[in-house]
Amino acid sequence: MSDWLNAGLLVNIVDGVAIGGLLFLLAVGLTMIFGLVDMLNLGHGALYMAGGYGAFLVLGSGPVSLLSFALVAVLVLGVGALAGLGLGVAVRPLRGRGHLDQALLTLGLGIVVAEVFMLLAGRGFQSLSVPQELGRSVRLVGESYPLYRLVVIAVSAVVAVLTYVVFERTRAGSLARATVDDPQMVAAMGVNVGRVRSAVVVAGAALAAFAGVLGAPLLNLRPGVDTEVLVLALIVVVIGGLGSIKGAVIGALLIGQVQTLGVSLFPGLAAYALFGVMVLVLLVRPGGLYGRAAA
Amino acid sequence: MTPPETAAPLLQLQGVGKSYGGFHAVDDVSLTVHAGERHAVIGPNGAGKTTLFNLVAGTLRVTSGRVVLNGRDVTRAGEHSRARAGVGRTFQHSSLFTTQTCAENVALAVRRCIGLGTSLRVPTKARGELARQVADLIERVGLTDRAGDLVGDLSHGERRQLEVAMALAGDPALLLFDEPTAGMSPSESGQFTRLVQALPRTLTVLLIEHDLDVVFSVADRVSVLATGRLLEQGPPEQIRNSPQVEAVYLGTGHDEVFIA
Amino acid sequence: MTGTVSTTPAASVAGSPAVTLPPAHSRLRAALPPLAFGLVVLIIGTAPYWLDAYSLDVLTLGLTYGLMAMALALLIGFTGLPSLGHSAFLGLGAYSAGLLAVHTTDNALVGLVLAAVVGAAAAAVVGALSLRTHGVFFLMLTLAFAEIIRQIAIKSSFTGGDNGLSVPAPHIPLLSSTGLPQVVTVYWYVLAVVAVGYVVLSVVVRSPFGKALVGVRDNPHRMAAIGYSVVTVRLRAVMLSGALTAVGGALLVQKDTLVAPTALTPDASVLLLVMVLVGGARSLTGALVGAVGMVFLRSFTSSWLGEAWLLVEGVLFVSVVYFMPSGLAGLAATVRSRIRRGGPA
């Protein structure tokens, strides 16, 4: 390996995987809620933001132990799940009014949630400390690399495998995916469509809030972070294809690289690259990499 | 009844399938509908009838096999291309524009057919032709008295008639009916049966239908679908007496008993 | 509608006894809509003579946003296509008109034309990429597109980066030579452009094309089944909307002689969205009224709440979606039909 490669490129690539992991945690909920519940949750970015700021309000920006960090992360996961339940209830009155109203409601609720946290935590830049036990660096192919980021990658990978197995490798999962086209048929096969859908919203919301905690030591907490991560997650979903877990993984890893490697190699072109990747994918596959082509 | 086998094939499904992951909603279905034929597809709930219908209409794309219309491969063609190629359809859940009148609904279809669908105004000289075609279609389905009424005020049966008028705009070669008599009263479905019977034999009809009385009084040929696969195909008498079909309907392995 | 008072049994039970209303009464009711219309024209037409400069500037801003809100309503209300990134078209219009003014000509109308062309072209790209599949792709792509346009505005040198682009005051044909104060000149100019936009959009929504848009919104499969190319119909609407929004952006830079990336944040797109929803997405007039109203509301509340005004906006947003899905226009329609039926207004 050349010095040039050693001098940070590899670190950049691994950073990209970590960012990709965070994006996956967001995008997987977004894509599965859409694929199975037929609802676009534009409050997903606000859930991320709420998770991050929630943890910040409890832990502050000072040093934290792994135990308290993990406890707060689990707590946020639970609160996120409750928020998912709440979201399901909140959109219920709009049933029958179509996608648009649902999406708008989630967007509006997201704005309210985000602004409430702005009132609580202020508009300055905040961040969470890396848990002390994970604060050190490890040797990675001859380079020193922050352990915490590797943990983020590992956690995301576990979630990815779990969701993949549940949705794409079990009969209930593939049946659930067929509900969008022909709910009657699937209902006739003895699957409780309603329960599957609520579970997906709850899990998706919990993961989004959890990603907020996990991401807070890496990315600053600041006003507008909700829309920023939402946009990135949406791009991931567009690239990967609606309702596809495999697509969310590939899309998240791709965008993670564009955001890190792309920025360090071509600083001026990062914004174009983001759009360029999306355009390229949509030109070749209008439904995204693993999306269904027709509609 | 005309012997359909002597006519040219109008619609051919060749090994058509639709799967979601490992789950096959429609699995390797091949069938041919000849010009002028009235072909019915029946089957218990969850047999994949609606999916099959959507594959023919172009609402869904097949994951395997080919769809051939009038000798032309339309497997990759979208809904509107198939409509322009001569496929008219009705919808299972009435999908009319309820805040508009019957005439306005039909006019939407006719304007498209005479090339004015997306114009900024209808030229004065085209207005007569538009009105004439709309009135003509509405008369064919027997709704002349209700032409000026809002679709929202129509009965269920009348809406189905209006659906037919819209599907007939632009003289389609193939007319698809998606469970046309679902939710109809017996007298309404009787009237609907007569409407279908009165359609000219230049028109080919493929219908998915629950009501076996309607099927046996309209269809020349019947295909039976069960768990996504074609179980049996033949003239109505054969299907009526098939022990295999009876077994499917009487619930061997299926919770829901088919109610004719 | 004429002034005939319907006396159906249902209406009589609900409202006054089943007698025909006095003629004088019904004449008044018939005269109400034109009266209201005349009043609005009078207010708008005389505003420069009695409004202070600050309020006139806010009204001008309201009208500018009104054009963009109407363009967005064409998509959301009439076509059923939610754009969450309309600030992208605003930005493209503002920057292209601004760059033209800096480098080539200060003629305001040329700026508008350029903005319209750029807006339509960008909309064609976004539409062509996203309209072939699920409608939600459009929503996502517009959002992403807006973020990218904002990033480009921040990071590029030709846009002036974070500081934005300062442009010379525009030369407005006919008006600039009148010697009126700049704020009044700009008001008349903006009013004229917005009025033209209003007429164009009104003609469009009443045409066969407009009916096809509504058809595609309510039931795309039905429209496809009778042979309409849903993609083509939607694409044209997106291009028209993109063009008119870009014109609005051009008006903005011509009015303020400045455009900065802060005008292109997601907040701007959300503000346009809230304007449309508050006014009523299925009514052009509603969107216009919603825009003027929201601009005044923002100017009042943000002066004492600062950034927390966004919370007010968010709560308003959610309440409208829940309780007033057809916005002010829907409310007005309900009131009108009650007056017409002779019941309590």
Decide if C308 and A103 are in contact by the 8 Å CB cutoff.
no
Decide if C225 and B89 are in contact by the 8 Å CB cutoff.
yes
**What does the mean pLDDT of chain C come to?**
87
Closest CA to C32 of C7, C5, C70, C66: C5
Q: What is the pLDDT of residue A295?
A: 37
Query: Residue type for B59, please?
Result: T
CA B245 to chain centre: 23
Q: What percent of chain C has pLDDT over 90?
A: 61
| pLDDT class of C45 with cuts at 50, 70, 90 | confident
| pLDDT class of A127 with cuts at 50, 70, 90 | confident
Name residue B145's beta-bridge partners: none
Asked if C277 and C321 count as a contact pair (C-beta separation under 8 A), the reply is: yes
Q: Which CATH class is domain B4-86+172-249?
A: alpha beta
- Determine the Cα–Cα distance for residues B149 and B128; give it in Å rounded to an integer: 20
Asked if B154 and B102 count as a contact pair (C-beta separation under 8 A), the reply is: yes
Q: Which whole-number Å values give the CA distances from C116 to C97, C200, C244, in the listed order?
A: 10, 14, 6
- Determine the Cα–Cα distance for residues B140 and B175; give it in Å rounded to an integer: 15
CA C341 to chain centre: 31
Decide if A105 and C318 are in contact by the 8 Å CB cutoff.
yes
What is the domain partition of chain A in residue ranges? 21-225
Work out the average pLDDT over A227-245.
Answer: 90
Q: Which residues, 6+ apart, have CB-to-CB distance to B109 below 8 Å?
A: B137, B166, B169, B170, C226, C227
* DSSP secondary structure string for all residues of A186-215: HHHTT--HHHHHHHHHHHHHHHHHHHHHHH
Most A CBs within 10 Å, among B20, B248, B256, to test the A interface: B20
User: Each residue of A72-116: pLDDT tens digit?
Assistant: 999 999 999 999 999 999 998 888 787 788 889 999 999 999 999
Q: Which whole-number Å values give the CA distances from B246 to B40, B222, B258, C179, in the listed order?
A: 17, 14, 10, 91
Query: Residue type for A239, please?
Result: I
Q: Is the pLDDT of residue C5 over 80?
A: no
Work out the average pLDDT over C154-162.
Answer: 88
Q: What is the pLDDT of residue C147?
A: 86
Kindly give the residue spans of alpha helices, DSSP state H, lying in chain C: 9-14, 23-50, 53-73, 87-103, 108-130, 135-155, 182-206, 208-218, 220-225, 230-256, 266-279, 284-305, 309-323, 327-341
For residue C180, the enclosing domain spans: 52-264
Decide if C132 and A286 are in contact by the 8 Å CB cutoff.
yes
Residues of chain B with pLDDT below 50 are: 1-4, 252-260
Q: Is the pLDDT of residue A1 over 80?
A: no
Q: Cβ of B153 under 8 Å from any chain A Cβ?
A: no
- Determine the Cα–Cα distance for residues B85 and B88; give it in Å rounded to an integer: 9
Question: Does C154 fall in a domain?
Answer: yes
Q: Is the pLDDT of residue A17 over 90?
A: yes
CB atoms within 10 A of CB C208: 19
| pLDDT class of A262 with cuts at 50, 70, 90 | confident
**Among B23, B54, B78, beta carbon nearest to A178:** B23
Question: Does C176 fall in a domain?
Answer: yes
Q: Is the pLDDT of residue A232 over 50?
A: yes
| pLDDT class of A182 with cuts at 50, 70, 90 | low
Closest CA to B225 of B58, B14, B28, B19: B28
Asked if B47 and B225 count as a contact pair (C-beta separation under 8 A), the reply is: yes
Token pair 């309503």 in the structure block, residue = C73
Q: What's phi and psi for A143, nearest 5 deg?
A: -110, 150
Q: Cβ of B118 under 8 Å from any chain C Cβ?
A: yes
> A101 versus A193: which is more confidently predicted?
A101
Asked if A292 and A285 count as a contact pair (C-beta separation under 8 A), the reply is: no
Decide if B48 and A177 are in contact by the 8 Å CB cutoff.
no
How many residues does the structure list for chain C?
345
Q: What's phi and psi for B60, nearest 5 deg?
A: -120, 155
Crossing angle of helices C23-50 and C182-206, rounded to 10°: 140
Q: Is the pLDDT of residue A279 over 50?
A: yes
B-C CB pairs within 8 A amount to 80
Beta strands B221-226 and B38-42, pairing class? parallel
Q: What is the pLDDT of residue A179?
A: 65
Which of the residue ranges A182-196, A242-256, A261-275, A280-294 has the most confident prediction, judged by mean pLDDT?
A242-256
CA A219 to chain centre: 14
Asked if A155 and A145 count as a contact pair (C-beta separation under 8 A), the reply is: no
**What does the mean pLDDT of chain B come to?**
88
Q: Cβ of C147 under 8 Å from any chain A Cβ?
A: yes
CATH code 3.40.50.300 region(s) in chain B: 4-86+172-249
Contacts 24+ apart (CB under 8 A), C120-125: C120/C239, C120/C240, C120/C242, C120/C243, C120/C246, C122/C88, C122/C89, C122/C92, C122/C242, C122/C246, C123/C89, C123/C238, C123/C239, C123/C241, C123/C242, C123/C243, C124/C235, C124/C238, C124/C239, C124/C242
- Determine the Cα–Cα distance for residues B31 and A185; give it in Å rounded to an integer: 22
Q: Is the pLDDT of residue A159 over 80?
A: yes
Token pair 């939610």 in the structure block, residue = C82
User: What sign does the dihedral A153-A155-A161-A164 (CA atoms) show?
Assistant: negative
User: Each residue of C105-129: pLDDT tens digit?
Assistant: 989 999 999 999 999 999 999 999 8
Question: Does C71 fall in a domain?
Answer: yes
Q: What is the pLDDT of residue C26?
A: 65
Decide if B108 and C209 are in contact by the 8 Å CB cutoff.
no
Q: What percent of chain A has pLDDT over 90?
A: 51
**Residues of C with CB below 8 A from B92's CB?**
none
Most B CBs within 10 Å, among C209, C219, C222, C226, to test the B interface: C226
Q: What is the pLDDT of residue C18?
A: 43
Decide if C317 and A242 are in contact by the 8 Å CB cutoff.
no
Token pair 């779990």 in the structure block, residue = A162
**Residues of B with CB below 8 A from C222's CB?**
91, 95-97
Chain B: list its partners (3+ Cβ pairs within 8 Å): A, C
Judged by CB atoms within 8 Å, which residues 108-137 of A form the interface with C? 108-109, 111-112, 114-116, 118-119, 123
Q: What is the pLDDT of residue A4?
A: 46
Asked if C251 and C113 count as a contact pair (C-beta separation under 8 A), the reply is: no
Decide if B80 and C209 are in contact by the 8 Å CB cutoff.
no
Q: What is the pLDDT of residue C17?
A: 42
CA A75 to chain centre: 18
Asked if A224 and C266 count as a contact pair (C-beta separation under 8 A), the reply is: yes
User: Each residue of C299-340: pLDDT tens digit?
Assistant: 999 888 888 888 999 999 999 999 998 899 998 888 888 877
DSSP symbol at B96: -
- Determine the Cα–Cα distance for residues A36 and A51; give it in Å rounded to an integer: 24
Query: Residue type for C193, please?
Result: V
Q: Which whole-number Å values give the CA distances from C199 to B256, C70, C332, in the listed order?
A: 58, 11, 21
Asked if B11 and B4 count as a contact pair (C-beta separation under 8 A), the reply is: no
- Taking CA–CA distances from B167, the nearest residue in chain C reads C226
- Determine the Cα–Cα distance for residues B224 and C173; give it in Å rounded to an integer: 74
The total number of structural domains that make up chain C: 1
User: Each residue of C194-226: pLDDT tens digit?
Assistant: 999 999 999 999 999 999 999 999 888 899 999
